[in-house]
A = this chain, B = another copy of it.
Amino acid sequence: MFLTIGELINSTRDEVKKALKEKDEDFIRKLAREQHEAGADAIDLNAGESRDEEKNDMDWLIDIVEDEIDDVRIAIDTPDPEVLEFGLEKVRNKPVINSISNEDDKAAAREVASGYDADIIGLAMGEEGMPQTVEDRLNETEALLEKCDKLGIDKDQLYVDVIAMTIGSNQEQGQYVIDSVRGIKEKLGVKTNIGLSNVSFGLPNRALINRTVFAMLLEAGLDAALIDPTDTEMMDTLKAAEALLGEDKSCLGYLKYIRSK
């Protein structure tokens, strides 16, 4: 089962930052509802731009989103291990942790993550900074797996994020993320994730680039993605890919999806 994480409630987006400041409950409810109805399995919550108020804002966001959608799963998206722990304690259903990494100064987040029954996004990134090549990503993943193993984090909980970069300035990064998904799955037997829209940053018609690389990544074996599920081309692509890759028996899910539109 593919894990679709709705990325829209993120404080780096101006309208969300404003809604957090003004405590615009209706706006957050609408964003949560729309993503849920479009097919998101989990809703990402990021209040990082609120700084000193991050914990309070995360508290407020969780209350609203859990009130709006009964069976919602929440992805706690924070660089602060204290906010992470707070969110993990608070949420009703099995959370997603967004994210841990292989960086030395992220030991506290890894420690917190190890204490919960959660799906965990683990960035293929360590002390060397952003990985460039496929080999970099494989090496960081191996190192991260080792750290997780020591903490008792089950390999099956992990979704390794392959670190998407825009092809606008690094042409080779498109093929690199695809090959990384394939390589991490085949060589290390662990699930993969991507923050997909980064691939098209700075280019025109981003939805076209996003849906095209999404199809390629799904064929390579991608297991999860942070996407805008209200971009209908993305969910269209996911449903078509499931039918094409034999994961949707007799195309029944595809037929139901097309009829429902």
Contacts and interface: CB of A to CB of B under 8 A. Distances in A.
Interface in A238-260: 240-241, 243-246, 249-251, 254-255, 258-259
Interface in A54-75: none
- Copies of this chain, tallied across the complex: 2
Given A204-B258, A258-B205, A199 B244 contact: yes
A187 B55 CA distance: 55
B205 A249 contact: no
A20 to B, nearest CB: 34
Contact of A246 (B172, B219, B251, B255): B172
Contacts of A203: 243, 251, 254-255
A208 to B, nearest CB: 5
B246 A209 contact: no
Interface stretch (A3-11, A105-113, A210-218): A210-218
Interface string A154-194: 00000000000001100110110010000000000000000
Contacts of A168: 251
A237 interface: yes
A24 interface: no
A231 interface: no
